[in-house]
Structure 1
Amino acid sequence: MLTVTVLCFFAFCAGLIDAAVGGGGLIQIPALFGAYPLMPSAALLGTNKFVSACGTSLAARSYMGRVQIPWTLVLPAAVTAFVMSFIGAAAVSLIPQSMMRPFVLVMIIVMAIYTFMKKDFGSMQRPLTIGTRERVLAVLIGGAIGFYDGLFGPGTGSFLIFLFIRFFAFDFLLASASAKIVNLATNVAALIFFIAAGKVLFLVAAPLAVCNVAGAYVGTQIALRRGSKFVRILFLCLLVALIAKLGYDMLK
């Protein structure tokens, strides 16, 4: 009982951070593996996806009520991400994760430097004409990130936020809201995969999901009230944490 109570605290924190800038898995996955070291990793990852999908659903719904989502861009990206997340999960055994870490680490370092150096990056939303080029680009982004999330995962939300700002001139708040829609699609795709394989610990996942949803609600409200500048600071902090985590994993 004590173990689940402690995990509920971590689930709340993960939901809060994930709702604002993504990266809840940095908190929730290590907590699950630390609490159940003898449990098969697939069962813990499936449990994490169940919890994350619940929190992401609440965050996406909250953002939709307050932020004007450009659906002609986000919906194609979400659909493609859903499909490619399945394919990425199927390809896990073909591409060792040890090969992914150096590439992802370099990409996140580049993102952090670019965001830090470019002070106006994501500070305001610029008008965007949505045409065929933008829709195709949204599909490519959704497909690439969906495949990555199914294959490896760390930093998925951060990549989405960065790409939405870089290519569509979103501000951080709109990028975070849009990323939640796409991330929900990848989470649901992975969750279907794990449930079908019987890899979800529902007795553990249920109370964690409630706490994650509560954290997601708080995180969404903070992001909506504090705005893009605050989300930018959280985003940079998350990138630093991702760099430290991936660097540590490579040195182990």
Structure 2
Amino acid sequence: MEAVTVIIETPKGSGQKYDYDLRTGKMKLKKVMPLGLVFPFDFGFIPGTVGGDGDPLDVLVVSEVSAFAGCAVDCRIIGAFKVVQQEHNGKPVRNDRLIGVPEVSQRYADVSSLGDLSKTIVEQAIAFFTSYNQQGGKKFSVLEKLGAGKAFQLIEKSRKDLPMDRLVEIFLPLRDGNGEVFPKQLYDGIRVELTTKFGGLTEYSRNPAKGFWKPDEGTAEQDELLVFEVMCSETDTEFWSKLKLRLLKLFKQDSLIIRCSKIELLCCCVFGALGFFHQRQD
């Protein structure tokens, strides 16, 4: 199974709980825990996932070292605690805890499942989460201990449950600087790559968009464009940056536009049928 990137929020040994603040993009102090209660290992989340509580999936990172808040750690997932958490209002909520081991760990290099960990570590982790939730007036109940395979299935499902509210548009030229049409195979490869990664793709090829630009001489020219659109749940800046660099070389361009817009779904009735359209917020 592939490694997943975990963003550490609260370091090992910390008596304070930190959360990542989406609004500011910074770590925020959430609470100070009672004297003697500290995190047994680094605690964080997997970006691009959503759990039963509406937040990204939580991960306890078992390691011989302590990272820092905001540190990104590549981990192999070795298992999970399938959890029901009773909130203040008595409503039960699924809030599973995954267990990961850093790829660079030496002490836990041979650990690939919960069974490879000592019984003490597993019991202490459950005891910590139970005590932590009791302090917050919540009840923490482990329904089942999952192996690595089922734990990874939780991650895959959580990614599918994310709202697809990002529209990414890739503007590609149809002709080179000499007016020659680019080979169809170039677009076929990009089409397959994007469809495989995002599960679908929309393209505008019959009526290409017209882009106008003025070179230094002051004369206006027309550039035919092919537009690919994909929908996704989050903007993977690293992926799009690397793709843009490849496309610039592939099409021998000095510049190329990849634009991301936030989609707001609006409901409307059309001739008695329920329809949807999207409004982009650039």
> Is TM more than 0.5 here?
no
Higher helix share: 1
Which has more radius of gyration? 2
Greater relative contact order, per chain length (Cα 8 Å cut-off, separation 6+):
1
TM (normalized to structure 2)?
0.20
Higher strand share: 2
TM (normalized to structure 1)?
0.21
